[in-house]
Chains A and B, each alone.
Chain A
Amino acid sequence: MKRILNRLFLPLLCLTLVGTLPASASTDARAPDVLVRDVTNEVLEIVRADKAIQSDDTKRVIELVDAKVLPHFDFRRMTMLAVGRDWRQASPEQQTRLVDAFRTLLVRTYSNALTQYRDQRIEFRPSRFGSADTRVQVRTEVIQAGAQPVGIDYMLEKSEQGWKVFDVIVAGVSLVTNYRSSFGQEISRGGIDGLIRSLEERNRSLADQHGLQHEAGGPSA
């Protein structure tokens, strides 16, 4: 348990560290490794300078993540990978609600990790890929005094709007597919709608805990 948490901590912190650049619809031509580095550095710089975020202002850190990080993630693909085979059973409307709820959950929970960020250093490991590759793994490492470095790898896929992250691997564990068995449990218990319900319920209770408004996590009309 301890070990696991140990591996979870910094890593989690960094699920949120990818992404940057204004969320314009235009194509982001940066190479995947450059993109990860730029976004990480930019977000950390903001966190370092922002006293409100350091003192646990959830709303503020979520705003930061929304603006800088989210545009670089492909949440549809992430949700599909988390749900697994049952994804095919979901109607387009259910799929949309799943994506919305899962996005909200990931953003709420992992943004919090950013408020814990202090003096860790991120090291970017060289990534090898060819110009024709459409899927690339970008490796980073979080270095902290007195603790072992923790690897955080980002899986990116090329899209028309540039490279998009579809998985984050923390200390060797995919944070996306790690959900698959608990999602499977929910689905076998209450169907796709059951899973949607528990995700939305979780989002609501998180919103209450952090004094957020319900708009982002509530059931879509």
Chain B
Amino acid sequence: MRNVFRSSRKGVAVVVLSATLAAGCASTGNPSDPLEGYNRAMFSFNEQLDKAVVKPVAQVYEAVLPQPARTGVGNVFSNLADPWIALNNLLQGKVAEGMSDLMRFALNSTWGLLGLLDIASEAGLAKHDEDLGQTLGRWGVGEGAYIVLPFFGPRTVRDAVALPADMMGNTPFGIDHVPTRNTVTATRIVHTRSMLLGADRTLEEAALDRYAFVRDFYLEQRRYKINDGQQERVYEDFDEQPAVQPGAGVDAAASAAVERLELVDAGQWAPSAGRASSNR
């Protein structure tokens, strides 16, 4: 098992290297994604790995294990992560949430039969989603470039730096017995993947460019999580008169008023649109 792991690692290193070389400077200029060439190569490596190994195993797992058993597996992993979530909430100054996470862990580990049952959620203690990357973000550490890691997938540089600590933190009692640890890790991966069967089809169908879709989803979601959803969304109105200054934060009431005139606007802009459409 160990040997297999080691040699596959070497293989990965080769793939990473050649991907980096092949990538060149094929960036389309997204400011958050200066590594786009490398990232696209790694993204497709991860997708192929998923298609060849992870997804088929997850499908078997889902077919063999009945739903209640899978829920139990998910609950156990979720419970093991709660102390780390608590710590990160505390580090961010969210004491009430942190205490609630610790309560969850205490309840689920005892009355919840070592985490098999999530009775804490039923008792009204909500599950939180925190990690060290979010804590660093909260502390003002910038996210850095978007980077697709082998196996782990999308990250920002900040989150990639936090990743080793997050991984150790998610299993509070470090398992020294290597075969056990490998089994636990494999189960976690397969279980997580099985939760996404079905969603992957939607992603495949909905996205024009899966890479860009996943990247933008990841980045927006991380920013949302770091400020715990407390940020107001800005919706521009592209039907407005361009003279009003394009793209700037538009007053909601004004833009709504302008939008009612959209038909008039559309007519006015026909000439310039004709130019754009001939410009292939």
* Residue from A8, A109, A134, A192 in contact with B217 in the complex, judged by beta carbons closer than 8 Å: A8
Do B71 and A193 touch (CB < 8 A)? no
Do A95 and B266 touch (CB < 8 A)? yes
Contacts of A212 in B (CB 8 A): none
In Å, the complex CA distance between A174 and B220 comes to 8
Stretch from A19-27, A34-42, A76-84 that touches the partner: A76-84
Contacts of A146 in B (CB 8 A): 70-75, 78, 118
In Å, the complex CA distance between A190 and B280 comes to 5
Contacts of B253 in A (CB 8 A): 134
Do B235 and A12 touch (CB < 8 A)? no
Number of interface residues of A (CB under 8 A): 69
A142 within 8 A of B: no
Question: Interface size class for chain B?
Answer: 35 or more
Closest A residue by C-beta to B70:
A146
Given contacts A8-B202, A116-B198, contact A182 B208 (CB under 8 A): yes
Do A83 and B238 touch (CB < 8 A)? yes
| Interface secondary structure of A, over-half rule | helix
Contacts of B256 in A (CB 8 A): 134-135, 157
Stretch from B6-14, B89-97, B98-106, B268-276 that touches the partner: B268-276
- Closest approach, in angstroms, between the C-beta of A219 and any C-beta of chain B? 14
A128 within 8 A of B: no
- Closest approach, in angstroms, between the C-beta of B193 and any C-beta of chain A? 6
* Residue from B50, B118, B221, B276 in contact with A171 in the complex, judged by beta carbons closer than 8 Å: B221
- Closest approach, in angstroms, between the C-beta of B124 and any C-beta of chain A? 12
Do A81 and B126 touch (CB < 8 A)? no
Given contacts A155-B233, A172-B220, contact A178 B213 (CB under 8 A): yes
Chain A proximity mask over B250-280: 1 for CB below 8 Å, otherwise 0? 0011001001001000110110111011011
| Interface secondary structure of B, over-half rule | helix
Contacts of B154 in A (CB 8 A): 1, 4
Contacts of A112 in B (CB 8 A): 201-202, 205
A149 within 8 A of B: yes
Contacts of A9 in B (CB 8 A): 195-196, 198-199, 202
Closest B residue by C-beta to A180:
B216
* Residue from B203, B207, B269 in contact with A91 in the complex, judged by beta carbons closer than 8 Å: B269
Closest A residue by C-beta to B30:
A181
A59 within 8 A of B: no
Known interface pairs A134-B253, A191-B276; 10 further A-B residue pairs with C-beta atoms within 8 A, sorted by A's residue number: A6-B196, A87-B238, A88-B269, A106-B206, A109-B205, A134-B256, A146-B78, A172-B224, A173-B221, A180-B216
A residues near B (Cβ < 8 Å) are: 1-9, 12, 76-77, 80-81, 83-92, 94-95, 105-106, 108-110, 112-113, 116, 134-135, 145-149, 151, 155, 157, 166-167, 169, 171-174, 178-183, 185-186, 188, 190-194, 198-199, 202, 206
